[in-house]
Amino acid sequence: MNMANTTLAEKFRSMEYGVAPEDSAPASAWLDQFQRRFGHFIGGAWYAPAQGGYFETLDPSTGDKIADIARGCAADVDAAVKAARAALPVWQALTPHARARFLYALARQVQRHSRRLSVLETIDNGKPIRESRDIDIPLVARHFYYHAGWAQLREQEFPGYQACGVVGQIIPWNFPLLMLAWKIAPALAAGNAVVLKPAEFTPLTALAFAELCMEVGLPPGVVNIVTGDGSTGEALVVHPDIDKIAFTGSTEVGRAIRRATADSHKKLSLELGGKSPFVVFEDADLDSAVEGLVDGIWLNQGQVCCAGSRLLMQESIATQLTRKLQARMTTLRVGPPLDKTTDIGAIVARVQLERIEGLVARGVSEGASCWQPDIPLPSRGLYYKPTLFTNVHPTSVLAQQEIFGPVLAAMTFRTPAEAVELANNTAYGLAASVWSESVNVALQVASAIKAGVVWVNSTNLFDAATGFGGYRESGFGREGGREGLREYLEPAWFRKAPSLGRGTAAGAEAEAGAGDAHPGDEPPIDRTVKLYIGGKQVRPDSGYSIQCRSSKGVLLGEVPLGNRKDIRNAVEAAGKAQKWASATAHNRAQVLYYWAENLSQRAQELVARLAAVVGRRQASRELKLSVERLFAYAAWADKYEGVVHSPPYRNVSLAMNEPIGTVGVVCPESTPLLGFLSLVLPLVTAGNCVVAVPSVAYPLIAGDLYQVLETSDMPGGVINMVTGKPMELMKVLAEHDDVDALWCYGNEALCATAKRLSAGNLKQVWTNEGRQIDFFNERYGAGRWYLDHACQVKNVWVPYGE
């Protein structure tokens, strides 16, 4: 069509409009100021790389070189960590208000330079300028504003918590500056100093941000930027003077980082891949759903961790929706990212383009039907057409693997239950989008999908106040919201707790008190307990048992030597009991109160038996505090609630505390009753089912516990107990793919092994870090800190208005 001779109405109908390029001259001038060569930003100044030299960062839309970037080596990382460590006391000595002012100043500065930052982002990454200008950079500013608020309020809102210290942060290339903001803003607000490594394909905006830090006069060393590739990231991960690692990127690297940090006390948060379902019911507004898909899978060329890459359509509307979608796809404009009329820009790098092509080819070879619109692609640069696959089998590579490109895999379902099953049929659990005009169906499905974020009749909405992060192999920890700030804080007492050392048969207090056991308290020798699985007392698979002796060496009884098979059975039983998660909070509280009642009725005999191992004084205290703890968690059951956020859109987001699922628990040795309850109770209060390994010093406690449980209306399978050797049983739990989280109390070696072995399905792990926790002190042994770990926050975005 000849654009010059067409009328406005014709142009409107055809949507064939001319190019509208963004001016890149100011960004180029900025790059020229640095002679297009960037060092590391360490201790508030620029440094040439120690030995790694430079690598090129390219414009993926042309292949042209933009600048030379320092390649960080271990020495560079070490210099940056030292600078951060030195800056920490300076940063922490400031008042909360002073820190808030710096974060506020950074937000202002981002807004002031927003056009330059948008252009730099677009030329480095290939994303359309429309997106970097209207989505990425405004969200960056919003993140710093929001966290300026947390800097101000942190000490009031998190009393007793302290910053982790020096934080290592590694980010990907898909939202370079936004991911930087998601990492740096909460870290600084909490009072940490950071060393951040941007992705090798997209370092420019992080370097531009370093300059903003200088402009606002941020104390040198509070923010350090070291550029480089995966090896630079690895050097940061293994650096001994780092207190926390925050990572966003591929699941594979996340897994490697889990293993690499297992032997340290580094706190860890991982935001990994996804294969998010986009579920469309027959009563949905289909035109809106199609627009949602444009945002869901073609935003940023589909290189989005929460991209709605699996389209699940109700069978009755599948043909109609597919047609509408194809029609819309033919109007998408793939072109130069700096053109304001471009919908789909360039793929970030050749290797990524090849990865997409490879996965698409595999999908075709598996028999799925591939459809692409007949639209032009620029002759130069790395582009890929929007792609729709139909006839996709749920096990296909297209349905299971993160493609990270503009490729949508469509499948059909008949009923809401089938939709949920399909939606949950991947290892991931990052996000989901649900389309239905029925509020009942939409919210029911939103609650059943295992994902950290669910958008109802919307997609890809983000806000700093609403946490973001995954379930299952999409990682753990949240970014944004109160829960995001928690990732950068630790209870001060926990950091200072003494080491357990190599572990003792019973704790110091137990040894001290053991002398005052009454000989008459000791039970008959032949007391034998069983395993407790699925609400039943069962014999162990091995047929072996282990002896349990008093502190004076008297044989008290025998417990089964549980093995791999017993753990597997217990995990299966826990899996079948998951409806506990949907029991009402009131109902869970009632069960806990009833449990307390029954425990106190058996107090005398239980104390008498426990006293033989831990001494009468400790046994009485354990019993008394156990009843108290049951009351405390019964109280929490209907008070540890979610919140409703009001993001700056016509939406509310419901932050719901959801249970994690099946949790393995290795209980403390020295407090057989109180330690067991201190770990198991927060988990079951939150709706999890547990497989617990009771204290190895007094495993007979299992017998006492299940007798009480049996009379307390606790549904079978919610609490399972397998006695045996902690290290052996813990390993089975850590490696079991149906165990969703692991809580492990023990010495350094046990905790490190728990973390390392849990990398397989990336289960969340809580440990005592080999430190001693005083469970007799309510401040340390109970409350929110445990409940926070027992839940994962799911944010459901619900729109309102016409």
Rule CB under 6 A: which residues touch ligand NAI?
170-174, 197, 199-200, 229-230, 233-234, 237, 248-250, 253, 256-257, 272-273, 305, 352, 355, 402, 404
Q: Is 689 a catalytic residue?
A: no
Q: Is 305 a catalytic residue?
A: yes
- CB of 345 closer than 8 Å to CB of 61: yes
Q: What is the residue type of 113?
A: H
Cα(601)–Cα(598) distance, integer angstroms = 5
CB of 736 to ligand NAI, least distance (A): 25
CB of 66 to ligand NAI, least distance (A): 18
Among candidate residues 73, 164, 213, 305, the one labeled active-site is 305
- What is the number of H-type helices and E-type strands within the chain? 30, 33
By C-beta, is 200 or 463 nearer to ligand NAI? 200
Query: SS3 for 282?
Result: coil
By C-beta, is 170 or 188 nearer to ligand NAI? 170
CB of 325 to ligand NAI, least distance (A): 23
Please choose, from the candidates 329, 473, 434, the residue with its C-alpha nearest in 3D space to the C-alpha of residue 388.
329
- CB of 726 closer than 8 Å to CB of 768: no
Cα(202)–Cα(209) distance, integer angstroms = 13
Cα(593)–Cα(587) distance, integer angstroms = 10
Two structure tokens written together for 620? 């009485």
CB of 296 to ligand NAI, least distance (A): 15
By C-beta, is 55 or 494 nearer to ligand NAI? 55
CB of 405 to ligand NAI, least distance (A): 8
By C-beta, is 150 or 404 nearer to ligand NAI? 404
Count of other CB atoms within 10 angstroms of residue 16: 13
By C-beta, is 305 or 627 nearer to ligand NAI? 305
Q: Which residue is nearest to ligand NAI (CB)?
A: 233
- CB of 669 closer than 8 Å to CB of 696: yes
By C-beta, is 67 or 517 nearer to ligand NAI? 67
CB of 153 to ligand NAI, least distance (A): 29
By C-beta, is 466 or 569 nearer to ligand NAI? 466
What is the DSSP code string of 703-733?
Answer: HHHHHHHHTTTPPTTSEEE--S-HHHHHHHH
| Strand ranges across the sheet with 555-560 | 527-528, 555-560, 545-549
By C-beta, is 197 or 755 nearer to ligand NAI? 197
Write the CB contacts of 344 (distance below 8 Å, at least 6 apart in sequence): 128, 298, 301, 332, 333, 334, 335, 383, 386, 406
How wide is the angle at C-alpha 15 spanned by C-alphas 9 and 20, nearest 5°?
110
CB of 257 to ligand NAI, least distance (A): 6
Please report where in the chains the tokens 């002073």 appear, as a residue: 98
- CB of 452 closer than 8 Å to CB of 446: no
CB of 739 to ligand NAI, least distance (A): 23
Q: Is 620 exposed, middle or buried (0-12, 13-18, 19+ CB in 10 A)?
A: middle
Q: Is 594 exposed, middle or buried (0-12, 13-18, 19+ CB in 10 A)?
A: middle
Among candidate residues 271, 402, 479, 622, the one labeled active-site is 271
Name the residues annotated as catalytic.
Answer: 271, 305
